[in-house]
Chain A
Amino acid sequence: MKAAQLDFLKLFGGTTILSKQVVSELFRRPLYFRLIVEQIYQIGIRSLPLVIVTAGSTGMVMALQFGLGLEKFGGKLYIPKIVSLSIVREMGPVFTCLVLAARIGAGITSEIGSMTVTQQIDAIRALGTSPIKRIVIPRVIGALIAIPILSIAANFVGILGALLVGANDLGLDPVFFVQKVLTTVWVPDFLAGFFKTPVFAGIIAIVGCYFGLTVKGGTKGVGSATRQSVVTSSICILVGDYFLTKFFWIFEQWL
């Protein structure tokens, strides 16, 4: 128990310090623009297939589940409304970030972790350059740009999946479906989900980099750091989601 508390403090302190270093070095030259673009590509474009499959199947399953449930009460017509709202407000952004925590978080930690154990991070420092600038900042910025965009894509693909199931399996008119979605989902609904994604992106990148930079114990250490990184950022996303949802709820009331 004591060790677990200590680990938690280390993690909390370590990620806080890392975030501070990122902020303080962000505005110092040089800014490695090429490395940032490379990370946007790695994180954004290369994750797109995974996001499409996840979002598409989530939308399809949700339409099917709600369809079967609501049909009994003659509530099939509410499907477009319910499904699109759940996707845009919650499932799209959060599911996307969860699968990306696995894909991107694991990628970041294992890549940086191998660099740490082979002394490449030390070499960056020894050659008078900064691993925060060359390694951490490009990944943080890459995630902050790519993940929100991916989550928007996920919203569209998810609703599209629901539309397909609605039209094929539930006998809903596609035009009616689209009209319903367009009249239901409004800017606050979109923002309620979307505003969480930069927060989750930051968590994924910072936690991933932190575990990569602090790997100990050779190749085996890289494996366990990768596992810890994915578990930690997934938990942070799920717990953080509750608080962010509540925060936005209060904010909406106040509006």
Chain B
Amino acid sequence: MAIIEVKHFNKSFDGHAVHKDVSFRVEKGECLGLVGGSGIGKSVVLRSLIGLEKPTSGEIWIEGEEISKLKERDLTAIRKKVAYVFQNGALFDSMSVYDNLAYPLREHTAFNEDEIQTRIHDQLEEFGLLEAEGKLPAELSGGMQKRVGLARAMMIGPKVILYDEPTAGLDPYNTLKIRETVLRLKKKGVTSVFVTHDMPTAIAVCDRFVMLGEGRVLDERRADELSRKDPGPLERFITGDYGGY
């Protein structure tokens, strides 16, 4: 059974259809690359997968549960399973890095403050963020903020991670760090959907690609099927020959 299944997803804003009919699935343990031109609606799809956005029509199944008609309150269980890594980290800027990481634990677990501290230390160490612990988000570089956002999303061990351009605007060092983290989580069996414009990283981490355009899925291919000899829309998009619109 697919862990995520999107069926005939349609989404309009003020009568303008961003997505007309998008369907795809993500298997357990897989890393799916979701690509497409700027403004084509990749973030909209990703947001819909945890109910931040409601489809105009169509269905979204997460582990056999149709979530698109769930109430906000009932989405909590889904959001504990499926983590969202925001484009700019979306850290709480009035809280220190420590409190940002403590947030999911304090909300969803019964750990006492000592246990929380131990877990945060382990997490900071794993993500190479130990020196950031007491700082406020505004005191960190963009790359650090993204890594903290990633660490926060991982605090309660989600089964699925949705990455929204995790490497955009990062230097090669931070890009590599993010790439290593994604691969490490993948080894642990975490399923992921990876939205990015950074093709080298996408090719390094994704098992399969879905390309969006014109409100639907334009092309879909396993990573090891990408071919230089007989390029489809996906290959042409990746090499920059084709904008996808």
Contact = CB atoms under 8 A, between A and B. Distances in A.
A240 to B, nearest CB: 30
A123 B79 contact: no
Nearest to A21: B72
A219 interface: no
Contact of A120 (B50, B76, B90, B108): B90
Residue in A119, A128, A130 whose Cβ sees the most chain B Cβ within 10 Å: A128
Given A128-B76, A130-B72, A122 B108 contact: no
Nearest to B86: A119
A125 B72 contact: yes
Contacts of A126: 50, 52, 79, 83-84, 86, 90
Contacts of B104: 127-128
A128 B88 contact: no
A184 interface: no
A3 to B, nearest CB: 13
Interface residues of A, number: 11
Given A127-B104, A127-B107, A128-B108, A118 B93 contact: yes
Given A125-B72, A128-B80, A118 B88 contact: yes
A128 B79 contact: yes
Nearest to A125: B52
Contacts of A130: 72-73
B80 A122 contact: no
A70 B92 CA distance: 58
Interface string A98-140: 0000000000000000000011101101111110000000000
Contacts of B108: 128
Contacts of B80: 128
B90 A118 contact: yes
Interface residues of B, number: 24
Nearest to B78: A128
B103 interface: yes
A129 B77 CA distance: 10
A149 to B, nearest CB: 25
A93 B152 CA distance: 45
A128 B83 CA distance: 9
Contact of A123 (B72, B76, B92, B107): B92
A122 B104 CA distance: 14
Interface string B63-96: 0000000001101110110011011101111000
Contacts of A129: 76, 103, 107
A125 B86 contact: no
Contacts of B90: 118-120, 122-123, 126
A126 B150 CA distance: 13
A123 B94 CA distance: 14
A130 to B, nearest CB: 7
A120 B73 CA distance: 18
Contacts of A127: 79, 103-104, 107, 152
A112 to B, nearest CB: 12
Most buried by B among A120, A127, A128: A127
A179 to B, nearest CB: 50
A125 B52 CA distance: 7
Given A126-B84, A128-B76, A120 B107 contact: no
B86 A122 contact: yes
A130 B84 CA distance: 16
A139 B86 CA distance: 26
Given A125-B52, A125-B72, A128-B108, A119 B79 contact: no
Contacts of A125: 52, 72, 79
Contacts of A128: 75-77, 79-80, 104, 107-108
Interface of A: 118-120, 122-123, 125-130
The 8 closest A-B CB pairs, nearest first, are A128-B79, A123-B90, A119-B90, A126-B84, A128-B76, A128-B80, A129-B107, A119-B86
25 contacts: A119-B87, A119-B88, A119-B90, A120-B91, A120-B92, A120-B93, A122-B47, A122-B52, A122-B86, A123-B86, A123-B91, A123-B92, A125-B52, A125-B72, A125-B79, A126-B79, A126-B83, A126-B84, A126-B90, A127-B104, A127-B107, A127-B152, A128-B75, A129-B103, A130-B72
Interface of B: 47, 50, 52, 72-73, 75-77, 79-80, 83-84, 86-88, 90-93, 103-104, 107-108, 152
Given A120-B91, A127-B79, 8 more contacts: A118-B93, A119-B86, A119-B87, A119-B88, A123-B84, A123-B86, A125-B52, A129-B103
